[in-house]
Structure 1
Amino acid sequence: MNEQTSLLPREGGGLVPGSASSPEAPASAGARDSFNVQWPGLVNADGSRWHYLDTAATAQKPQVVIDAMARAMGADYATVHRGVYARSANMTLAYEAARRKVAGLIGGQEGEVVFTRGATEAINLIAQTWGVQNLKAGDRILLSQLEHHANIVPWQMLRDRTGVEIDICPLTDDGRIDLDAAERMLTPAHKLVAFAHISNVLGSLLDAERAVALAHGVGALILLDGCQAVPRVSVDVKALDCDFYVFSAHKLYGPTGIGALWARADILDAMPPWQGGGAMIDRVTFGTTTFAPAPQRFEAGTPAIVEAIAFGAAVDFVAGIGLNAIHAHESALVAKARDALRTTNSVRLFGPEDSAGIVSFAMEGVHPHDLGTILDEEGVAIRAGHHCAQPLMEHLGVPATARASFGIYNDESDIAALVRGIERTKRIFG
């Protein structure tokens, strides 16, 4: 992965390659035009900039990803894995090249990556294949209090089917998964630990190395939900020594409808197929069917060809900037946003000071949905609600939070617009 590109945040452009200008320097007309071309989704109809602060939900797409998707759907389009004609062969090469890119992004091998519809499907796949095959009544799963519903509900469904028990690890005072508590809770009865690598609400980064060691120390496997981590920090699944890792393309500046499940090759090879159909078979008769090896065994039917190729383009885009630069850029914006919000005595901040790319907060006397509506009138987009983490909301003692989340394209002008909108909200609600 290329971490060498010189990138500095500057007003009007987020991260820009090769810039020596000060972050405080106003963007030139040329820089604004370049930004508008690169990020068409961030330009309003009147040419003004949309202050998009909802990247944790889904990232805006750079033009290079849009172009890759358009080419794959248009001039290059053909099916994969089946056709003997040249374009089909070329499309198959592009599709499998995307798998290699996705695997390489997280330090894995292409045979260890299964394309899914997203992280949610990836977790369900694990629960309904590995989980059904390996877990039984009396076994235990350890989750945490901050998990996304996608890392809760599939395990509850498995519990109802198999009788496995679920334990919940508490959080530290600043909103991190309490690994000291996890160490006390884990027993040989635990067969799986499933934690978010970065919380989608609090932005808290898990000490993944320690979490893996604790799980393996009692003989459990560990699944990491990397949806918020992969777009923000460097991930090396082999160095982490985790067993399962899942993430979605659309949070990585790629398309919706596709994601990835990485698992150790020996685990994938032992997992039964989840869905049946074309592409995942070796030989079919009316008497019996034999299945293709992993990862094809888990990709029944015609795959998301166009989305996979765009996924690969998004990986190239992020790798060209460098995740170290992305993390530094977002960390600086988080620090500035927390400082700015802290000066408003009606605002309560959640999560650790060094949260990764995400700032959740509540405004006294104002429901987050009302705040989100007023901010939208000011050209600012935030997330307002429970963020698919209702158990965490209960823990925080609030029905919902407002969440500002940052990406490559954000800069200090977005924070200033957010603060202006909050000040207007204060005036409205008196």
Structure 2
Amino acid sequence: MSKQALLIIADGMGDNPIPDLNGLTPLEYALTPNLTALAKQGLFGNVHPVQPGVPVGTDVGHLAIFGYDPYDVYTGRGPIEAYGAGIELLPTDIAFRGNFATVDDEFTVLDRRAGRINTGTHELAEALDGIVLSNGTKVIVRPLSAHRVAVVLRGENLSEHVSTTDPGTAKEGETVQKSIALNEESDAIHTADAINELTEKMFSVLSLHPVNAERSLQGMPPANMILLRGIGREIQAPKITTTLGIRGACIAGDRTVLGIARMAGFDVYHRDSFTAGHDTDFIAKADLAIEQLKSGYDWVVLHIKSPDLAGHDCQPMIKVSSAIKLDMMLGHILRHIDLNECFVGYTSDHSTPCMRRDHSGDPVPTFFAGGNVRSLPLENFGEKYVTHGSLNNLTARDFFRIQMDHLGVVAKLGA
């Protein structure tokens, strides 16, 4: 295989028209000369993450981007977060994704993200890690990026058929949910009891932790609870790198993405400056991508999380800023690679419209350029500008296959 490819993923960048942006989306509003110039040299269009009109999570969206059928392999967000945290799951484990959150004494949720806490989480997780519940279940807790955390229950007779404790996105004012068994099996009842006991223990331990005492002194919300969701067991799926015979590298600050990449057989790269936030080091990520391409990786995936955060927080101008920084990052990369030897793609895992503050089922602007890839005229890059492109109405898995075909690793169907 002589050619390489770089894929840039702008998490949650897709959006809808915003009145304060003159009826444009953040991507349409932003000045993005490099994205536009590159899209003009290749295939482009609005691509559906999984299928039209179906909102997906970051986990499902990225599974599809990496070539998996989420309907076949997805068992929950929790296992993916566990992979991202470096936890080796056992078949009997159940895993959760969690948020450090702020609750009052009645367990009313005051802030689902504890002020988007980004310091002290290692100490808080360590205080909970290793707790043994009354039924003998061991608790494994690992910090992820910012407020996110992976929680695994390890023991006998555990079931994933239980409800979780997070009341949901933008549900401040509601209480932490009691876990209940979703069937009458004793394992489910046993597991729900364990989760509810863990909820009580987390509040007791975290409320007294020095990190939260200091946060309260500084007027910041204490991270005195972990809200659990995304329950699931170990994902069993073939490694994409083995299936296709490629070497893959993934550069990201978001542990969910790193977990999926690791599951897919990729070498993963993370640095402290890759924060999965607005302050992530765009140019350091670009330099590392250039380095990995020069070292011989066939497919390098570079992930940026900040647009998704801006969408959830309804900050359209921050999203515009993310698009501009991403475009500058792309310009830096283009000065160091040969488009005749390395294809460049761009996509998102889903749309996160600012006015909605959550993921939507809208398709996402996407392109694939370089070499002799087919091209069409293009005025600008953004949702409304790419509607005449050849990638329209395809899915992320279709886009994955197109990239792999250009790398020459897709087997011919038929004689």
Fold match (TM-score > 0.5): no
More RCO (CA 8 Å, sep 6+): 2
TM-score (norm. length: structure 1) = 0.28
User: Which structure shows the bigger proportion of residues in helix conformation?
Assistant: 1
TM-score (norm. length: structure 2) = 0.29
